[in-house]
Amino acid sequence: MDDGTIHAAGTETLPARVLVVDDDAINRKKLRIAVANLGHDAETAVDGREALEMLAGGKFDAVLLDIVMPEMDGFDVLDRMRATPSMRDVPVIVVSALDDETESVVRAIELGAEDFLPKSFDLVILKARLEASLSRKRFRDQEKEYFGRIERLTEAAEKLERGRFDPDSLALDDLVRHSDPLGRLAAVFRGMANEIYERELKLHRAVATLQGGFLVLAVGLVWGLTPALSRMAAGLGSNPLGLAVWVNGIAALICLGIASYRRRLPRLSWNELRFFVYWAIIAGILQRMTTFIAAAHVEAAMLSLIVTLQGFIVFAIAAMTGMERANAKRLVGLLVGLGGVSLVLFTRFDIAAGAQNAWLFFAMLLPLLFALEALVLAGRRPVHVDIFASVGLMMGLSAAFLAPVAWATGSLLPLGPEIGRLEMLVLLMGLVGAASLLLAFRLVATAGAVFYSQSAYAMTIAGVVWGMLLLSEELAPLAWLAFAIIVLGMYLVEPKRNDEELVIKRSFAQ
């Protein structure tokens, strides 16, 4: 049984692949037959160039090399072999009938030859010298392999020292198969790394889930104000287009001002600028306008409930495109959440109210727009651009796109110069818009699009509560049970797993 240790050269005969190089056909045949009789596989080359080509294209254990050959003699072959890493360790026995035999042998040895054999050799001498060369090569190969394993263990130890405990990155599986001390040490390294890595990975995922959950609740709490504030602004005579210009413009000024203070205003490429244009159209224009229009006709609580449908849309698209893994647990969580939403909708839907139901269906554009925004952020956001600059650029572009339309249609909302209730509402909506987008941007970046979609459940809860507090909207008792079901679904849909290697910060310094 091979235990991986280094053994001294023995006397056993092991089959080897030997290259015979000689320009004389009779000498080649003589050497080939002699090598074959010793139990080895013999191949031949007619000159030095062919020998080098064969050595470069295949693995040989030894070479019997004639010295005197046309164009490229044995000395030139030796010189080229020693200059080539893949050939330099192949033992060479020079075969020559030169008159100055001693001088030729010395020169050949200096060039790296292992031994010398005269043309008129005896089979016993050939066997002794060939087996001695092969034994030394086998010993060197074992030694190189052994020290190679030591080097790999050293590299693994350095990775552990840098906090890289991922067992796959250590690449020790083949070393563990050896039963020698190095194999046992590799097994200890891998076992220790696996134990620490799994423990830290569980902790890391738990922390990520808590952070993601906190961001989900924060997004829901902040955005949940939007439907209620929009209904209040509509009641004060505002129009959706003018309101969107002011709200987006205020949010842009806030975010870009913070980015400028932090010296994080970016220089964008055309591709990056196109991303912000797409985002502005989806979130700053379509999503805002849909929210403000629907809020004038749909209760804030109901509008918040409808937004929760984005979870299924995001999950379906992300699963089909391969952006995130669609496992059973996440699907069950989404189904549970949808069950809670359906239960609440059941308490609100009135078949007899045709016009009201039409506005409910119009409001269902919102979850689609939220889903598209989440997927765009997850897949195409420029990661190097500051979060405040990103939100500020998007909101600024959307305000710039909407302002000319509002001016041309006479929809610009006249505010001031006195600060009244509408002015305070618009300012508050700008702050809420900036804060909700910043939180959403951060949530998508850290937890993924599918987990971000669960913020819709928190939006539902917050929207209903804000509607009750600010607009005196009523909530059926059955809806509280639905809220509990929604929270359970939100827990089951965990954040996406990060494919990047977890680096554990540990110090091994004494």
Give pLDDT, residue 381. 79
Q: How does 179-209 read in b/e, with b if 16+ C-beta sit within 10 Å?
A: ebebbebbbebbeebeebbeebbeeeeeebe
Three-state DSSP class for residue 411 = coil
Number of residues assigned to the chain? 510
- Rounded to two decimals, what is the model's pTM? 0.55
3-state secondary structure of 435: helix
Q: What is the pLDDT along the chain (510 residues), one digit of tens a residue?
A: 444 444 444 444 568 899 999 988 888 899 999 999 988 999 999 998 999 999 888 788 899 988 888 888 888 988 898 888 888 888 999 887 655 567 777 888 888 888 888 877 788 888 888 888 888 888 887 788 777 777 777 777 777 666 666 677 777 777 777 777 777 777 776 777 777 777 767 776 676 667 777 777 788 788 788 888 888 888 888 889 999 999 999 999 999 999 999 999 988 888 889 999 999 999 999 998 998 888 888 777 677 767 767 766 776 677 676 666 666 776 777 677 677 767 766 665 554 455 566 787 788 888 888 888 877 887 777 888 899 999 999 999 999 999 999 999 988 888 877 888 889 999 999 999 899 888 888 887 777 766 676 676 677 677 777 777 787 766 566 666 766 676 676 566 655 555 445 444 554 444
Q: Where are the alpha helices (DSSP H) in 38-122?
A: 48-57, 74-83, 101-110
Provide the CATH number for the domain formed by 17-143 in this structure: 3.40.50.2300
Domain ranges of the chain: 17-143, 199-492
Model pLDDT, residue 7: 44
Query: In Å, how far from its chain's centre is CA 291?
Result: 35
Q: What is the pLDDT of residue 495?
A: 53
For the chain, give me the number of helices (H) and strands (E)? 22, 5
Residue type at position 232: M
Q: Are 70 and 23 in contact (CB under 8 A)?
A: yes
The confidence score (pLDDT) of residue 379 equals 72
